Structure 1
């Protein structure tokens, strides 16, 4: 089921996939001419918060979590990036170190584009700067929404929103009518919502008993997205 007209997914989801979509062939070729492709296993760290920003990363296949670690060692997952998205470019544009860490949620194929190549392509391109500016503006709005739900919404509502957003992430490659399986650990889900695993387990059980989700091991399938949207309080 499409979320169109039911849930404002763009308020919660970055659009960095659009940065490279239909980029002029010569500009795309220049940007990617020297990129190095690497396969990462699930759980591998791509870059760490505070590290010198040496380049950007193009996710060709798989999903990556962007997160920060607090003083107690707990993760706060900021965003889940999908195939086709770029990560790491904020630090390059700001001439700063990476502001967060990134690690794979599943086996991934990711290409590295050096800082020098990225900045050179940015200087030569007529399209890329405008797209980056538009994307950064949208990401700012998404982050504001994400901050507001932590302070204004209950854990149950935040979990509902997170599951709806993850459903969009995991539907890629699923044929029409096929089951969309959200495959994330309970600890990662708790770190996305900003709560403890015990709360996640309690509300998932409640959703399951209400017929809103089904579970297959750690995988979650949303069986009634309309009810979940109702719980989220974010329906359009």
Structure 2
């Protein structure tokens, strides 16, 4: 009896991430990749640190943030499962932000020094990477627009909707400290808590510990 061989986990990742199921291409991609695990609180890389590795989050959550001249923290983004980050290293040699694990996390590391030659010799792969970056740019532009024009209530609610779309569920888990999330949304922790209570009172959301269910 023939037994169907199980796919290599990396093959599945490339198929899901980039829609690539060509054996030759995936084998080439594997030469530039490795899996790494970090514990909660660990720093993966620091702002202005030289590097050559971009990452894809397989499991966990990562905080990207910058420090100003006074040492104040500015949260840039919370990386969720199945997201790329540090892809800017394809165009420069230093990380523009700090990356810290918010929980135990597993990542796929991709060495740009090995990836770039593959992109040059495989136009179809380059096209997929460019499309992926274009989507990220659109997301960042939308984020900047929201932060500059929306009310605090709209920022919070739209962030919940964003998470809902990512996880394809009306129930999302906010396992991020309120202070951290408030920083990301550009508001004080007290404002965040007040808005959360208001949305509960208005019947827009339902909160059960770290779970928030969108009702409307």
Distance 1:144 1:223, change over 3 A: closer
Other-structure match for 1:116: 113
Q: Equivalents in 2 of 1:181, 1:19: separation in Å? A: 23
Distance 1:185 1:133, change over 3 A: same
Stretch deviating more after TM superposition (77-86 or 186-195): 77-86
1:99 aligned to 2:73? no
Secondary structure (helix, strand or coil) at the match of 1:145 reads helix
Identify the structure with bigger relative contact order (alpha carbons < 8 Å, sequence gap 6+).
Answer: 1
Distance 1:43 1:20, change over 3 A: farther
- Name which of 203, 207, 216 aligns with 2:208: 216
Q: TM-score, normalised by structure 2?
A: 0.81
Q: Equivalents in 2 of 1:90, 1:147: separation in Å? A: 18
Deviation at 1:202, TM superposition (A): 0.9
Q: Equivalents in 2 of 1:220, 1:158: separation in Å? A: 18
Matches within 5 A, 1:110-189: 110-169=107-166, 171=167, 179-189=171-181
Stretch deviating more after TM superposition (98-107 or 144-153): 98-107
Other-structure match for 1:202: 194
Q: Alignment length, in residue pairs?
A: 202
Other-structure match for 2:55: 57
What whole-Å deviation, never above 9, does each CA across 1:66-99 have from its counterpart, x for those lacking one?
22223343333333333333222212x2123112
What whole-Å deviation, never above 9, does each CA across 1:173-197 have from its counterpart, x for those lacking one?
x7xx8x4423221022112201111
Deviation at 1:203, TM superposition (A): 0.7
Deviation at 1:115, TM superposition (A): 2.7
Distance 1:158 1:141, change over 3 A: same
- For structure 1, the residue ranges without an aligned partner over 5 or more in a row are 1-16, 227-236
4+ long deviations beyond 4 Å: none
Question: In terms of Rg, which structure is larger?
Answer: 2
Other-structure match for 2:80: 82
Q: CA RMSD in A?
A: 2.5
Q: Equivalents in 2 of 1:56, 1:47: separation in Å? A: 11
Q: TM-score, normalised by structure 1?
A: 0.74
Q: Equivalents in 1 of 2:199, 2:94: separation in Å? A: 41
- For structure 2, the residue ranges without an aligned partner over 5 or more in a row are 1-14
